[in-house]
């Protein structure tokens, strides 16, 4: 083994274990293997809808296009870059770690390719991991508008097999085997562009860049404390999403005007309605319609999770909990955000009700209760406060698997409801009402649990909340 190769392997090991702990990687591998057996075993003898397979496999590609950035930690800047190593060796090491990081994300979606294609699905999975990792570097220097355009084009192209288009990287799912070569060529292209881009990327961290912003004043001089908190939540939503690229976990933060969010959700729901009506696939017995509802539910749960994850991140603990007390402020805060979420998701409930999909309509209506449940779990186990523009960098550990396990019940509830709807379409209304009541039962207790929020406050203080 050459000296340069040995040095690169040592560097890769250093970077890998600075991002992930060994117990995390071991437990994750066991979890993924179990997940594959679960997915493949659960669908044995039953065909997974094409729309679900293609739609879920498109998610990591679109996400990589939109969130293309190269992250460096402070320890990288302070300790790694000053080492007597060639710049190219460092960036290649970061690129290899990004393959692992993106692979952890893509492995979940790859299970559907393996289930649909058999052993050939592993080729799709490997290409997906390389493609998403390379896109994160190749598109890193582009502005958001260009990345949004590219993500839209690529997303439509990858979803085009749903409409019978043969020249798509995923057209192997509708019987066109030349799609394997097309996917391989696309992957090779982005690998080439990413390698070419390595020497062109600046070594400065792209985290924590100062941006100018306009401040809109809101008056809280009148009304009760709940009205004041509600007024803020109905004016804008503060969101934060955990992002992991190049092996570094950090947070993207942004504010969204609730008015614009409602407009966007209305437009998307109308487009969804027109597609379903135009294709004539509405009906619970139709696999394509079930696949679309499955994908829609998955995306809305993901949005709810981001909404829950960002709760309390921007709250000054000394002011909020200090004035009203833990339980009272948590109740006001989560109720106000739940109302904002209900308003934003209302168009999807209406559209599914018009399509006769009452189960999904009730599931979407109950998402605010799921938000309360998820936000409470996260606040009690791993609350994070963003104090300034330099968001905290988080190292993954095996103990963090407790949070996904506790967040699993509402996810399983929604999916069991969808499969129950598929098994007995005549019971849609009954299934929807029962699911809504269960969602309510998951969320409501946290709005009255005083000791829980006192413990959550202690956890926040131990996590350096101010």
Confidence of residue 70 (pLDDT cuts 50, 70, 90): low
Same domain, 275 and 138: no
Same domain, 181 and 307: no
**421 in any annotated domain:** yes
**Does the pLDDT of residue 382 top 50, yes or no?**
yes
- At 211 the pLDDT is 46
**Does the pLDDT of residue 207 top 70, yes or no?**
no
* pLDDT-wise least confident of 25-34, 171-180, 212-221: 212-221
* pLDDT-wise least confident of 26-40, 139-153, 374-388: 26-40
Confidence of residue 138 (pLDDT cuts 50, 70, 90): confident
Q: How far apart are CA 145 and CA 445, in angstroms?
A: 43
- At 373 the pLDDT is 94
Closest by CA position to 195, among listed 252, 115, 136 = 136
Confidence of residue 45 (pLDDT cuts 50, 70, 90): very low
| Domain stops at, among 206, 240, 263 | 206
Please give the structure tokens belonging to residue 3: 């000296």
- At 210 the pLDDT is 43
**Does the pLDDT of residue 21 top 90, yes or no?**
no
**370 in any annotated domain:** yes
Same domain, 269 and 343: yes
**346 in any annotated domain:** yes
**Does the pLDDT of residue 328 top 50, yes or no?**
yes
Same domain, 435 and 314: yes
**Does the pLDDT of residue 368 top 50, yes or no?**
yes
**Does the pLDDT of residue 30 top 90, yes or no?**
no
Same domain, 164 and 242: no
Buried/exposed 15-47: b ≥16 CB within 10 Å, e otherwise: bbebbbbeebbebbeeebeeebeebbeeeeeee
**215 in any annotated domain:** no
**321 in any annotated domain:** yes
Same domain, 201 and 227: no
Residue range 399-454, pLDDT digits in tens: 566 787 888 888 888 888 888 887 787 888 898 899 999 999 999 999 999 999 98
Q: How many CB atoms lie within 10 A of CB 261?
A: 18
**Does the pLDDT of residue 186 top 90, yes or no?**
yes
Q: Are strands 236-245 and 248-257 parallel, antiparallel or unpaired?
A: antiparallel
Same domain, 256 and 129: no
Residue range 231-269, pLDDT digits in tens: 777 776 776 655 544 444 555 666 777 788 888 889 888
Same domain, 318 and 410: yes
Domain residues for 27?
1-206
Q: Contacts for 139-144 with beta carbons within 8 Å, 24 or more apart?
A: 139/65, 139/68, 140/68, 140/69, 140/70, 140/197, 140/201, 140/206, 141/197, 141/200, 141/201, 142/68
- At 75 the pLDDT is 63
- At 349 the pLDDT is 92
The CA–CA distances, whole Å, from 376 to 383, 446, 463 equal: 10, 7, 16
**Does the pLDDT of residue 374 top 60, yes or no?**
yes
Mean pLDDT for 352-361 is 87
Confidence of residue 199 (pLDDT cuts 50, 70, 90): low
- At 185 the pLDDT is 95
- At 444 the pLDDT is 93
Question: Tokens 């979420």 appear where?
Answer: 341
Greatest Cα pair distance, the chain, in angstroms, is 73
**69 in any annotated domain:** yes
**213 in any annotated domain:** no
Same domain, 272 and 352: yes
Q: How far apart are CA 190 and CA 129, in angstroms?
A: 12
Closest by CA position to 25, among listed 92, 103, 87, 134 = 103
Confidence of residue 209 (pLDDT cuts 50, 70, 90): very low
| Domain stops at, among 163, 178, 206 | 206
Q: How far apart are CA 123 and CA 102, in angstroms?
A: 16
3-state secondary structure the chain: CCHHHHHHHHHHHHHHHHHECHHHHHHHHHHHHHHHHHHHHHCCCCCCCHHHHHHHHHHHHHHHHHCCCCCCCHHHHHHHCCCCCCHHHHHHHHHHHHHHHHHHHHHHHHHHHHHHHCCHHHHHHHHHHHHHHHHHHHCCCCCHHHHHHHHHHHHHHHHHHHHCCCCCCCHHHHCCCCHHHHHHHHHHHHHHHHHHHHCCCCCCCCCCCCCCCCCCCCCCCCCCHHHHHHHHHHHEEEEEEEEEECCEEEEEEEEEEHHHHHHHHHHHHHHHHHHHHHHCCCCCCCHHHHHHHHHHHHHHHHHHHHHHHCCCCCCCHHHHHHHHCHHHHHHHHHHHHHHHHHHHHHHHHHHHHHCCCHHHHHHHHCHHHHHHHHHHHHHHHCCCCCCCCCCCCECECHHHHHHHHHHHHHHHHHHHHHHHHHHCHHHHHHHHHHHHHHHHHHHHHHHCCHHHHHHHHHHHHHCCCC
Specify which of 221-230, 277-286, 360-369 reaches the highest per-range mean pLDDT: 360-369
Please give the structure tokens belonging to residue 162: 């749903």
Residue range 286-314, pLDDT digits in tens: 555 666 777 788 788 888 888 888 888 77
N-term to C-term CA, the chain: 52
| Domain stops at, among 163, 179, 206 | 206
Same domain, 253 and 201: no
Same domain, 243 and 197: no
Same domain, 183 and 259: no
For the chain, what is the mean pLDDT? 77
Task: Domain count for the chain, please give it.
Answer: 2
**212 in any annotated domain:** no
């Amino acid at each position: 083994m050459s000296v340069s190769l040995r040095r690169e392997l040592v560097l890769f090991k250093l970077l890998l274990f600075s991002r992930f702990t060994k117990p995390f990687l071991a437990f994750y591998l066991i979890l993924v293997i179990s997940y594959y057996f679960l997915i493949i075993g659960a669908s044995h003898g039953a065909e997974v809808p094409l729309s679900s397979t293609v739609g879920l496999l498109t998610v990591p590609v679109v996400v990589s296009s939109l969130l293309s950035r190269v992250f460096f930690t402070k320890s990288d800047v302070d300790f790694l870059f000053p080492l007597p190593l060639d710049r190219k060796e460092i960036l290649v090491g970061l690129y290899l770690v990004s393959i692992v990081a993106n692979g952890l994300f893509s492995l979940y979606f790859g299970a559907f390719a393996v289930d649909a294609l058999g052993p050939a699905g592993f080729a799709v999975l490997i290409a997906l991991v390389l493609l998403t990792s390379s896109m994160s570097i190749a598109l890193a220097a582009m502005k958001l508008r260009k990345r949004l355009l590219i993500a839209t084009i690529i997303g439509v192209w990858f979803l085009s097999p749903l409409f019978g288009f043969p020249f798509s990287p995923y057209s192997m799912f509708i019987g066109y085997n030349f799609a394997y070569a097309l996917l391989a060529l696309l992957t090779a292209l982005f690998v080439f562009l990413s390698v070419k881009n390595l020497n062109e990327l600046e070594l400065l961290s792209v985290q924590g860049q100062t941006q100018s912003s306009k401040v809109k004043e809101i008056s809280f001089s009148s009304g009760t404390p709940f009205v004041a908190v509600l007024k803020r939540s109905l004016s804008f939503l503060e969101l934060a999403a955990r992002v992991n690229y190049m092996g570094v976990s950090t947070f993207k933060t942004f504010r969204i005007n609730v008015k614009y969010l409602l407009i966007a959700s209305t437009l998307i729901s109308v487009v969804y309605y027109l597609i379903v009506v135009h294709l004539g696939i509405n009906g619970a017995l139709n696999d394509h319609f079930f696949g679309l509802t499955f994908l829609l539910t998955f995306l809305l749960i993901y949005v709810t999770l981001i909404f829950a994850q960002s709760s309390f991140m921007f709250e000054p603990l000394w002011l909020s909990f200090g004035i009203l007390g833990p339980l009272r402020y948590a109740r006001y805060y989560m109720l106000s955000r739940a109302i904002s979420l209900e308003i934003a998701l209302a168009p999807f409930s209406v559209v599914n009700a018009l399509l006769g999909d009452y189960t999904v309509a009730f599931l979407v209506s109950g998402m605010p209760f799921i938000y309360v449940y998820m936000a409470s779990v996260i606040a009690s186990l791993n609350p994070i406060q963003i104090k300034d523009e330099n968001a905290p960098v988080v190292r993954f550990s095996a103990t963090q698997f407790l949070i996904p396990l506790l967040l699993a019940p509402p996810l399983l509830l929604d999916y069991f409801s969808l499969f129950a709807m598929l098994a007995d379409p005549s019971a849609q209304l009954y299934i929807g009402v029962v699911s809504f009541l269960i969602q309510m039962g998951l969320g409501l207790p946290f709005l009255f649990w005083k000791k829980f929020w006192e413990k959550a406050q202690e956890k926040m203080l131990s996590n350096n909340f101010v």
